[in-house]
Every structure is written in C-alpha cells, then in structure tokens.
C-alpha cells in the first residue's frame, strides 16, 4: 500500500511513480473523483476519506495547537492576566534562558516552544501553525511532521541562545519557521511533477511569509529573529532530507529520513556545545548567585571572578563581584569592582550606592560623599542611597545635611528598622530628643528583643 502525498490516505498504486490516490488525482485534473464514478475500474481500490472531525482530532497540528493553548491558559490562570506574563512566570514554566539552558537545563530548549509571552503572541503563532501544519502533514506524514516540529523548535531555541547570549525567549515561532522552511525544498524537490505545479502558488506564499516575517522581526525590537532563522535552517535541511513522494514509506525512504534526523541531531549537539561556550560567563554568574543563596560566599566569589575572567567588560559580573566582596568586608577589592561597573555603566545607580558604602568603610569619606550624592540623583525614590548619604554627612559633621537625608530615607521606608533608628540617633545628637521618640518607638516595635535599643528608649523618655 502507498500513502497519498496529498491527503494521506492509503491506496494501491498502479505504478511506482504514482504518488496521488485516485481521488486526489481526479481532483487535480478537474475530473470527478473515482469514489463517485459509477462502475469504477475493478482494479482500483476505493478508500472512503476519513471524516473531518476524525481528521481534526488525529492531526498533530491540532494536538500541538491544543497543547500550546493549554499551557497558555494555565499560565494565564496562575498569573491572573491574559495579556502578558512576567519574566519570573516564564522562567518558572521553562523559558529558554542562555545561562540556565546551556548551564545544564537543556529541557528548556523544548519547553520554551510551548510557552508564549501573552495573548497576541500565541494568537499569531497558532494561526501560522494552523495554516502551515496541515500541508506539512500531508507531505511528510504525521509522525515525521511531529518530529520535524520538535527538532525545528530545538534548533530555533539553540540559535537564540547562541546569538542572543544571556537572553530569555519563549514561543513556537522557531518551530513554525522550521515548518515553512521544510515545505520549501519539499515542494521544489517533490518527485511528482504534476504535484509540484499544483503547489507552486503555495510555495510562493510560504516564501513571502518567510521573507516578510524575517524583515518584520528585524525591525521590531524584542523579536527573537535568531530563533526564526535557526528554525528555518533546521527545517530546510530536514525538508530536503525527508522523502515526500511514493518512496516515503519504502525502506529507502525510511533510511533517508533516519539519516537526515541523525545528521540534524549531531548538528544540534554541536550547536549546543557552542551555545554553552558563548554563555559560559553568564553560567558562572548564575552559579555565583546560587552559591550565595545557599550561604557559600567563598564559592560565589570564585564563580564571579571566573565570569569576569571570561568577560571582563560585563558590568553585571563586576557589580555582582563587588557586592559579594562588600558582604565579606573586602572593601578595597569591592570598590575596584564597583568603579569598573561605573566605567561601563555610568548611570547605574546601585553601583554608586555600593561604592559609597565601601568607601565609607575605608574612611574615604569625601569620595564616598560624591558617590552617595550621585546615587540619590539616579535613585531618588529608593531609601538606601539617602540612608547612606545621611551617615556619610554625619561622619563629616554636616548635621543638618545628615538630618535631611535620613528624614528622606525614613519617608521612603517608614517600616525600615535601620532608617528609623539612625534618624532617631541623628535627632538625639542634634538635641531633638523629643522628636526622636516616635522613631525610637518604631524601631523598638520592629526589634523588641534589642536590649541596647530598649535601654536607649528608656533613657530618652521624658522625666
């Protein structure tokens, strides 16, 4: 039995060259299909086409659309939003991330292809999958179409983390571009000349789809064109390798499909190794963050130093190293890392704030003052820069300036223990003990077990 290259039904071919069943051959020639011709030739086995409903439920295209939609709906329910999802939710559900994926979580290459960032994203992708999937199923068969979809999705994900290192991406577009890419050589190289002619219009439409979407992706910021190109190339190679004519289910056809799959699999492994190399600095940063979260600061510092050795011009790595060093009171080394961060990102407020803290610990108060003031300019609505500015001004004997800065920090974080305590101490030092009492009470309420604070509060009470 032979599988029809158009509708996928089984039929008994009269020759090795016949790839369309009698029904589809008649339709292609504009004739009446043989299953409605009276007294059809006895040597033609007629097949009743499966119902539309059965085709729908058995189609991998339908199943893939259903899976993508199900994931989207569960994520929407979890996030209480149908329009857009935040980064944490996407990562929790398996988004493709350069350092996480290439750092060992390779399953993200596939899970990310079933995630979408929001309603418009999934709507456009599922519309394209619906239109391209049916034709690909007919040409390649259901099992090979499914394999094609998955491999192209992985190929797109790998291209994404190779091209856009330290990035996060989701969506089925890599797999969809792969389907489009596979259809191009499949239609151009199909052994049935008659079918090639019939598919010429479809071929033109698919080529235009690829061209316009790549151009659109290049023009719109945030579009992962790397995944599109990766999926497209993977699909074109598989489309050229997978048989689509009468040989599709022959031993030769199966060997050809197996060889194409193995070649692509080996290529994807090689691309994965390159992706790990490209993302290695960011893998080290992730390992540093993980070690710090588990309380192993020594290991965290080592990983951050490795990240800088691999990519010394990355401000994120420099800032993390500085923060880790500041936490273990290696103030001079941390100051160097923060200074390097500022050279690369002159308007990065947290680097100025932390540099101010390191310099204050080293008693470099004049240098610390300038960096604290710059921190408040860049982060005017955060309490930490004002808090540190107040402490530096106090140590420089600028009491009124310190009072203003600490008052600002308390107003931005009225529930902060350090802010309330330091402002109260500032007021007491300035002779304003009565005004300090509410802030001492607030600090005591936040830390009632602090004996020194209890003693201070008792002493400050009016007699």
| Active site positions, annotated | 173, 228
Alpha-carbon distances, residue 269 vs 94, 264, 308 (angstroms): 20, 9, 27
300 and 288 Cβ atoms separated by less than 8 Å: yes
- Per the rule left: phi > 0, alpha: psi between -120 and 50, beta: everything else, 39 is left
Give the DSSP per-residue string, 318-342: HHHHHHHHHHTT-HHHHHHHHHHHH
Which residue bears the tokens 């107040």?
390
Residue 205 phi, psi (nearest 5): -65, -40
230 and 174 Cβ atoms separated by less than 8 Å: yes
Angle at 27 between CA 24 and CA 28, to 5 degrees: 85
Alpha-carbon distances, residue 17 vs 21, 49, 245 (angstroms): 12, 22, 9
Quickly list H helices, 164-296. 173-188, 193-198, 200-219, 225-241, 251-293
3-state percent breakdown (helix, strand, coil) of the chain, nearest 5: 75, 0, 25
94 and 115 Cβ atoms separated by less than 8 Å: yes
- Counting DSSP H helices and E strands in the chain, the numbers are 23, 4
Rounded to whole angstroms, how far apart are CA atoms 71 and 225?
Answer: 23
Q: How many CB atoms lie within 10 A of CB 40?
A: 14
Per-residue exposure over 396-434, b if at least 16 CB sit within 10 Å of its own CB, e if not? eeeeebbbebbbbbbebbeebbbbbbbbbbbbbeeeebe
Torsion over CA: 421, 425, 430, 433 (sign): positive
């Amino acid at each position: 039995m032979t599988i029809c290259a158009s509708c996928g039904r089984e039929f008994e071919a009269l020759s090795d060259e016949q790839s369309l069943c009698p029904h589809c051959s008649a339709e292609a020639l504009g004739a009446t299909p043989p299953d409605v011709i009276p007294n059809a030739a006895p040597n033609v086995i007629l097949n009743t086409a499966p119902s539309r409903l059965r085709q729908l439920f058995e189609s991998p295209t339908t199943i893939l659309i259903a899976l993508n939609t199900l994931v989207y709906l569960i994520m929407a329910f979890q996030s209480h939003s149908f329009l857009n999802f935040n980064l944490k939710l996407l990562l929790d559900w398996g988004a493709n991330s350069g350092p996480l994926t290439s750092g060992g979580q390779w399953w993200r290459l596939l899970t990310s292809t079933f995630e979408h960032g929001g309603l418009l994203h999934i709507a456009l992708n599922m519309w394209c999958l619906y239109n391209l999937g049916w034709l690909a199923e007919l040409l390649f068969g259901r099992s090979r179409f499914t394999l094609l979809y998955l491999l192209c999705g992985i190929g797109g994900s790998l291209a994404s983390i190779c091209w856009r290192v330290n990035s996060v991406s989701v969506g089925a577009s890599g797999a969809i571009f792969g389907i489009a890419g596979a259809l191009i050589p499949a239609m151009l190289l199909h052994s049935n000349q008659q079918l090639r002619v019939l598919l010429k219009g479809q071929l033109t439409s698919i080529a235009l789809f690829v061209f316009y979407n790549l151009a659109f992706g290049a023009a719109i910021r945030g579009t992962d064109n790397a995944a599109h190109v990766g999926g497209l190339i993977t699909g074109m190679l598989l489309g050229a390798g997978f048989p689509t004519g009468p040989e599709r289910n022959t031993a030769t056809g199966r060997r050809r499909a197996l060889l194409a799959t193995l070649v692509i699999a080996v290529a994807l492994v090689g691309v994965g190794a390159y992706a790990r190399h490209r993302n290695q600095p960011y893998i080290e940063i992730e390992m540093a963050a993980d070690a710090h979260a588990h309380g192993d600061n020594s290991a965290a510092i080592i990983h951050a130093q490795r990240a800088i050795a691999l990519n010394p011009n990355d401000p994120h790595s420099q800032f993390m190293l500085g923060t880790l060093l500041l936490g273990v009171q290696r103030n001079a080394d941390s100051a160097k890392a923060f200074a390097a961060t500022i050279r690369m990102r002159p308007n990065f407020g947290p680097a100025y704030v932390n540099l101010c803290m390191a310099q204050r610990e080293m008693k470099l108060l004049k240098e610390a003052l300038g960096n604290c003031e710059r921190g408040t300019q860049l982060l005017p609505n955060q309490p930490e820069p004002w808090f540190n500015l107040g402490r530096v001004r106090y140590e420089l004997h600028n009491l009124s300036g310190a009072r203003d800065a600490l008052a600002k920090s308390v107003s931005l974080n009225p529930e902060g223990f350090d802010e309330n305590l330091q402002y109260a101490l500032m007021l007491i030092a300035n002779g304003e003990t009565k005004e300090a009492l509410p802030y001492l009470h607030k600090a005591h309420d936040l830390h009632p077990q602090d004996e020194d604070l209890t003693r201070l509060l008792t002493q400050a009470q009016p007699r």
